[in-house]
Structure 1
Amino acid sequence: MIDAHIHLEQYESEAVEQMVSMLPSIGIEALIAVSMNLDSCVRTQKLAATYPEMVRPAYGFHPEQPLPQEAELSTLLEWIEGQAQEDFIAVGEIGLPYYSRAEALERGEAFDMEPYIQLLDQLLELAARLDKPVVLHAVYEDALIACDLLEKHNIQRAHFHWFKGPEEAIARMINNGYYISFTPDILYEPEIQELARRYPPELVMAETDGPWPFEGPFADKVTHPSMIREVAAAWGAIHGCTSSQAEEILTANTKRFYSL
């Protein structure tokens, strides 16, 4: 299988070494390693060089953090554009700051979305120019804004990771052929289980979003790529598939989306 979304560079070096070394023995053939900002991109790049074929890097700017200064953004965009096409797999993680905005509004603070929308617009323009897939953090009503921008740049290869959203967004994403991925919370979150029933099986992948921690049967456990097998089993049960059938479907989808 392939973990379709993990922040590998956020694990300690020793943990990464132990994790990656054991993956072939448990049937995990690759990790899609996303990035947060320029420093994160550089760390992810080094991991991909250390573990070629196993670590497939994506470079971007995660929206749930303060906006980059203009010079910082220019440097990041130039750095991504300067990478050899074959050396990275996607532009990501990019998107819109749903959770940061919600927290700010809960504190009674103003939150200006427009600069984040402009940032996403620039990153999508870059992805379109480079003909790369995009890995999106865009949930709930933010997904509709993301869809507007994807359509503006005529980007078909969009992966909304750990997605949750309204019916309007779900229908539009399905119509456009955008992919989503499920995390270990598919085992215990009814909202996610319902989305799994609704979304076309050919547009679905499995991810961990590690090292983000999970609850339910994963409480107090370090998030590990091996958990995608349990994601596959839970997704398969929803669709009447065996675990092995589910793994085969989700892996084929991931390889197709990322041209692996």
Structure 2
Amino acid sequence: MRSVIDAHIHLDWYEERDRKRIVEDLSSSNIEKLISVSYDFDSCKKNLSFDHPKVVTALGFHPEQALPSPEEVQNITELIYQNRSSIAAIGEVGLPYYTQHGDFQDYVNLLEHFIILGKELQLPVNLHAIYEGADIACDLLEKHEMTRAHFHWFKGSETTQTRMKEKGYMVSVTPDCVYEEEIRKVIESFPLEQLMVETDGPWPFENKFEGRLTHPMMIHDSVKRISELKDEPLDYVYKKLQENTCHFYKL
């Protein structure tokens, strides 16, 4: 069966009716699991409340917003400790690129806190770090000898990509790989063994997905695109992507 895992989705951001529909569709859409990442403390709590065998949670603080208070960082950290055995990762964490609300170094320090925590608890980190931010994230990962890093919807220079490939970090692509040249190049650059697929839903997409609710079933279009670009049989690509994600997240 051609099943696949959505390695990065904000399930808690969907309207209740849409979230219910997505969860109900998982089996019929051949979606094996969803990794629902968190945005802030309230998002962490909401993600933890989902009780479905195909929904796995990651806890963290999204960097594209104002920095959290020390109390919120402590609350999220405590949640991670308390739920260590049931969560898949620390995430979404990283560095801002599109917005910045304070001293950039404070964002770097916050990311370092989560990387240290991931290393201590033997949990992978699900990262929002693109372009220059990816290099800083790599610096921190190497500093703390943290190898289990997943750069979601990755974008970055060839130099950064080479560095990441050498370290064995994972990257995931969204359905925009169907129409975005930059993402096509990422797929061609990284070996299949370091690729995963995601939606980053409910983020909307263009081209053939214009006007549609972002649904994990869109990942099947991504897998077909990867198969074409890698010139590998479709069934083999499905198998490898699922193996990659299961192995990385210990699913």
Report TM bin, short chain. Answer: over 0.9
Return the alpha-carbon distance in structure 2 between the equivalents of residues 159 and 93 of structure 1: 10
TM-score by length of 1: 0.93
RMSD, aligned CA = 1.1
User: Would you say the 8 A contact 2:59–2:76 is kept in 1?
Assistant: no
TM (norm. structure 2) is 0.96
Q: 1:196 offset after TM fit, Å?
A: 0.7
How far 1:178 sits from its partner (Å)?
A: 0.1
Q: Could you tell me which residue of structure 1 aligns to residue 76 of structure 2?
A: 76
Pick the aligned partner of 2:211 from 211, 216, 220. 220
Q: Which runs of 5+ in 2 are unaligned?
A: none
Q: Supply the distance in 1 between the matched residues of 2:186 and 2:210 (Cα, whole angstroms).
A: 22
Q: How far apart are residue 226 of structure 1 and its match?
A: 0.3
Distance in 1, Cα, partners of 2:103 & 2:73: 18
Give the drift of 1:259: 1.1
User: Which one-letter code corresponds to 1:62 in the other structure?
Assistant: H
Residue 112 (structure 1) aligned to one of 98, 103, 113: 103
2:224 to 230, 233, 258: 233
Q: Equivalent residue of 2:193, what SS? A: helix
- Aligned pairs for 1:133-152 within 5 A: 133-152=124-143
Which segments of structure 1 move beyond 6 Å, counting only runs of 4 or more?
none
- Which string of whole-angstrom CA distances, capped at 9 and with x for unpartnered residues, describes residues 207-226 of structure 1? 00000000111111110000
1:6 and 1:77 mapped to 2: Cα distance?
21
Identical pairs, percent: 45
Once residues 226 and 132 of structure 1 are traced to their aligned partners in structure 2, the CA distance between those partners, rounded to angstroms, is 27
8 A Cα contact 2:152 2:172, kept in partner: yes
* 2:47 matches 1:56: no
Provide the residue aligned with 1:255 in structure 2.
246
**Aligned-partner residue type, residue 178 of structure 1:** Y
C-alpha deviation, 1:149, in angstroms: 0.6
1:11 has 2:10 as partner: no
Q: 1:168: which partner in 2? A: 159
Would you say the 8 A contact 2:205–2:214 is kept in 1? yes
Q: Which amino acid aligns with 2:55?
A: V
